[in-house]
Amino acid sequence: MSTIEDDQPLSPAGRLFVQPATNQIINGVLGLERPIELASVRTVISDSLMIKHPRFSSLLFTDKHGREHWRKTNVDIDRHVIVRPDPVGVGDTNSDCYTDRDEEVVNGYIADLTVSCPLTTDKPLWEVHVLTAHKCVVLRIHHALGDGISLMSLMLTLCQKLNDPDQTPTIEQTSPTRKRRKLGTLDNIIKVLKIIWFSLIYVTEFIMRGLWVKDRKTVVRGGEGVELWPRKLVTSKFSLEDMKMVKSKVANATINDVLFGIISSGLSKYLDSRSPGYLQEGLQITGVALVNLRPSPGLQDIKELMKKNAGTAGWGNKFGIMLLPLYYHKNQNDPLHYLKRAKMMIDRKKLSLEAFLSYQLGYFVMKFFGAKIASILNYRVICNTSFTISNVMGPKEEITVAGIPVTYIRTTSSSLPHAITMHMVSYAGKADMQILVAKDLIPDPEKLAKFFEDALLEMKEYAIKI
């Protein structure tokens, strides 16, 4: 056990994530080809970088002044590994196939975790749940320990490449680096003016969202208190090759553009099925996206990530927030129109400093008004919008844990005031999106998931024809 002198204060974002209104836990799932033994789980954890990371071996405590700190402690792995042979009394550990029933059970188990199971502060803020009957491992990691990029990099140090067990996996990059066209003086002036203009507009909109502006009420919008409602979790499954083929049909499009085009199309169809003839054409529905503010480090740099002097590329929560509006459209003959509109909006957002300034604004509020006020403002932004969306690129090749092939990687977070929370992770040519909903507002999330899958297929079929 360390002394008080060795205590480390939480980062501003870390303090935000331990406030009651914005407390967040990341629930990552590794599906396995066959069940894993408890002894293997303990060995993998004890031999990994995760157990050596200071945040994973520290307790969270609050001093007499109300400031949160990390205090080094000894880790008892047995307290962190929780074996669930069969959460609901079904499952066949002798079966070699992963069934729809397994997926339903695992998703139901995680949905319950997102609402009713916080991590206790008498041990470091992480757990590993082993669902033996359903051949998967659930890693529960408090968001105060790091952001999606940090935690994905660290989680994959538990794994090895399937075709080269001596190597750790590499992370799929969102897009190749493109050569930048050299701009003339006039073009540079116009670009700077656009940056200033878009930044001013979007930051003003962000502040207004935190104060009073809200989306119009629809069947997919939550609000204050909805984070406490029962949840249901379903999975949309996409082919990464299909997404890449679709994005190739729109100049300079990215996977994120395709994903948001899918969301735009799928939500429009779902709203039309729930409220036929009721919604106004062009109705705005606003999403919240967390944006990485540093280059994705990749696994080869995980030790650099953990260094104290790593700067903006270092460990922790290094992200800003973007508000991403989409618009309800009843009929659209060109499925790629959703992608084109999404790309135009996201390009403007990326040109602006919205993500960076939202981070700085949060830091300013945290520093001068305290974590409680910062948490309230973030909570209000979520209450006044309609959904959360994130995309983390995972390993591009197949991987193993303790020699057992991994069949899928999925993730979701604690419930929010949003009625819909969507997290996509790519792995070995596949992209799975976990859709967490407040089931009293969205009783049929399977239909929503199907609309998303169909949206990509419609874009692909249309792209083949042109």
Of the candidates 53, 143, 329, 418, the residue annotated as catalytic is 143
The C-alpha atoms of residue 151 and residue 319 are separated, in whole angstroms, by: 13
Q: What is the DSSP letter of 409?
A: E
* Apex 129 CA angle, 125 and 134, nearest 5: 160
Phi, psi of 116 (to 5 degrees): -115, 5
* Apex 432 CA angle, 426 and 435, nearest 5: 130
Left (φ > 0), alpha (ψ -120 to 50) or beta: where does 103 sit? alpha
Residue 355 · residue 198 · CB < 8 Å: no
Which residues are 58's β-sheet partners? Answer: 72
Residue 323 · residue 317 · CB < 8 Å: no
Q: Is 337 a catalytic residue?
A: no
299-316 burial: b if 16+ Cβ within 10 Å, else e: beebeebbeeebeebbbb
Which residues are 197's β-sheet partners? Answer: none
Give the type of residue at 457.
L
- Residues annotated as catalytic (active site), given as ranges: 143
